[in-house]
């Protein structure tokens, strides 16, 4: 699929990751999720655990950032070290941009759709679902204990919104950030894959046509 | 298509109305836009012009409402008459509910997706597009003079957002209000029709399956 990038933002429990994996398989694209974290971690010199935590609970993370931003005096100058969360974000963003240059991939999470918003090869997708349906999925498919599901879902929703709104100038779940938004409760995962695939093929087709002129 | 209702909210100039008309034709559904206004007007006793104005410039409308809400003393009680804009909205909402009971229709605008948010037969769609692309459409297809297009678009965007946010508890363009959101700049009108049609057929299919059990 050439230079195409499908960037998927998703609510926890909406099936967005599964959709991304299926798309990657069906369209023969590379898939980046945790692999991306690892890639970013290798080059930045940050501890891999910092990446694991980055998106899990941005609400706590922001407090953590405030308390942990440290400063040093070096070469007679006062240097403020960016908080760990911000360094993780910067390392991830650079990795996403490198991956985007190669194209031919699906990237799930990490504000990729926002970071690549001006990239004409990027299809920007948001996947969401009704709360009850997402609860069922995280218990039934992700194996979260039923008694913990409600609280985890609330924490993840808050965390992803905080993370997105901390690192972008937009709102989590604003339609204008996306080319296509699907509600998996209303439409189901199979149809979501089909719709995103049609949009991806159209994007790819347009790209090919443009390519013909140059 | 049985009881199916496709409710489309759309940004001015995004092609949402055209998409609604094409869907209605392809799926053999009734189409409501201005026809709905007329229907609501007949039963409410309000002047048809009040309906024409209702969505055009909600920013001004809200000021108008504040200044025009009148009161009377009747039967020894102090009655406050709802502002004209609110009476228009109530009349439209009742009309939308009556149409939804019959089903088999496409409704464009008038917060229909929000009003019918708990109706299991309703597919809720938002159509948007990039500003430059919408400007081109309102000049090239809607015949708006080029020198007026920028200002009109800004006024319509503000008006629709104000209208939606005045009459609902939600935000204009919040993904959670919709089953499917399409950006016509990225995907084009033809593909938007195709994607919404697939979603409508799925909704209709699910409906039929549910119907089989009863």
Task: Please report residues of B whose CB lies closer than 8 A to that of A123.
Answer: 186
Of residues B7 and B50, which shows the higher confidence score?
Answer: B7
Question: For testing the chain A interface, which of B114, B125, B175, B210 should be mutated: the one with the most A CBs within 10 Å?
Answer: B175
For chain A, the average pLDDT equals 84
**What is the rounded average pLDDT of the residues A91-120?**
90
**Per-residue pLDDT at B38:** 62
pLDDT in tens, A136-177: 999 999 899 999 999 999 999 999 999 999 999 999 999 999
Lowest pLDDT segment from A149-153, B7-11, B49-53 = B49-53
Give residue-wise pLDDT tens across range B176-189.
999 999 999 999 99
Question: What average pLDDT does the structure give for chain B?
Answer: 84
At A81, phi and psi to the nearest 5? -80, 130
Percent of chain A with pLDDT over 70: 79
Q: Render pLDDT for A8-53 as a digit per residue (tens, 0 to 9).
A: 999 999 999 999 999 999 999 999 987 776 676 677 777 767 776 6
Instruction: Using alpha carbons, select from A163, A161, A149 the residue that is nearest to residue A64.
Output: A163
- Minimum Cα–Cα distance from B121: chain A residue: A186
CB B3 within 8 A of CB B129: no
Summarize pLDDT for B105-160 with one digit per residue, the tens. Answer: 999 988 899 999 999 999 999 999 999 999 999 999 989 999 999 999 999 999 99
pLDDT at A45: 73
- Using an 8 Å CB-CB cutoff, list chain B residues near A202: 187-188, 191
How many cross-chain Cβ pairs, A to B, lie less than 8 Å apart? 75
Q: For B201, which residue in chain A has the nearest alpha carbon? A: A187
> Chain A closest CA to B126's CA: distance in Å?
8
- Cβ distance B179 to A194 less than 8 Å, yes or no, reads no
CB-CB contact of A202 with B188 (8 Å)? yes
Q: Do B187 and A180 touch (CB under 8 A)?
A: yes
What share of chain A has pLDDT > 90, as a percent? 57
Residue B66 has pLDDT above 70, yes or no: no
Chain B closest CA to A76's CA: distance in Å? 49
Q: Which residues pair with B181 in a beta bridge?
A: A181, B126
Point out the residue among A180, A186, A195 whose CB comes nearest to the CB of B183.
A180
Describe the strand order of the beta sheet including B5-10 as a list of residue ranges.
Answer: A30-32, A105-108, A5-10, A122-128, A180-183, B180-183, B122-128, B5-10, B105-108, B30-32
> If interface means Cβ-Cβ distance under 8 Å, which residues of chain B face chain A?
123-124, 126, 128, 173-176, 178-183, 186-188, 191, 194-195, 198-199, 202-203
Considering only CA atoms, which of A178, A202, A136 is closest in space to residue B128? A178
**Range from A77-81, A106-110, A171-175, B112-116 carrying the lowest mean pLDDT:** A77-81
pLDDT value at position B85? 79
Using pLDDT thresholds of 50, 70 and 90, give the confidence band for residue A209: low
Which range has the worst mean pLDDT, A62-71, B24-33, B116-125?
Answer: A62-71
Average pLDDT over residues A96-123: 91
- pLDDT bracket for residue B56 (50, 70, 90): low
Chain-centre distance for alpha carbon B23: 15
- Hey, are the CB atoms on B191 and A199 less than 8 Å from each other? yes
Cβ–Cβ < 8 Å for A6, A126: no
- Interface list for chain A against chain B, based on CB atoms closer than 8 Å: 123-124, 126, 128, 173-176, 178-183, 186-188, 191, 194-195, 198-199, 202-203
Structure tokens at A172: 């989590």
Question: Per the CB < 8 Å rule, is A187 touching B181?
Answer: no
**pLDDT for residue A198:** 97
Would you call A175 and B123 a contact, using CB atoms and an 8 Å cutoff? no
Chain B residues in contact with A203 (beta carbon < 8 A): 186
Which fold is adopted by the domain A5-208? Rossmann fold (3.40.50)
- Could you give the angle at which helices A84-102 and A34-44 cross, rounded to 10 degrees? 110
Q: Among residues B149, B176, B21, B201, which one has the least CA distance to residue A191?
A: B201
pTM: 0.85
Q: To the nearest 10°, report the CA torsion of B112, B117, B122, B124.
A: 70
Which of chain B's residues have a Cβ under 8 Å away from the Cβ of A182? 179-180
Cα torsion for B133, B139, B144, B150, to the nearest 10°? Answer: 40
B75 has a pLDDT exceeding 80:
no
Q: What is the pLDDT of residues B187-197, one digit of tens each?
A: 999 999 999 99
pLDDT over 70 at B81, yes or no: no
């Amino acid at each position: 699929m050439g230079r195409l990038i499908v960037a998927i933002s998703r609510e926890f429990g909406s099936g967005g990751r599964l959709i991304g994996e299926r798309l990657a398989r069906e369209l023969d694209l590379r898939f980046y999720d945790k692999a991306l974290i690892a890639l970013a971690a290798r080059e930045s010199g940050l501890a891999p655990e910092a990446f694991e935590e980055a998106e899990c609970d941005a609400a706590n993370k922001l407090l953590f950032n405030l308390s942990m931003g440290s400063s040093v005096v070096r070469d007679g100058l006062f240097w403020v070290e960016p908080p760990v969360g911000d360094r993780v974000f910067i390392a991830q963003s650079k990795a996403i941009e490198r991956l985007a240059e190669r194209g031919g991939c699906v990237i799930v999470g990490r504000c990729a759709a926002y970071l690549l918003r001006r990239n004409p090869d990027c299809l920007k997708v948001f996947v969401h679902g009704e709360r009850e349906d997402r609860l069922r999925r995280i218990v039934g498919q992700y194996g979260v204990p039923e008694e913990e599901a409600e609280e985890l879902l609330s924490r993840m929703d808050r965390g992803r919104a905080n993370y997105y709104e901390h690192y972008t100038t937009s709102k989590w779940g604003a339609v204008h950030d996306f080319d296509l938004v699907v509600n998996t409760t209303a439409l189901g995962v199979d149809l979501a894959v089909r719709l995103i695939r049609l949009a991806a093929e159209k994007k790819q087709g347009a790209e090919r046509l443009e390519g013909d002129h140059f």
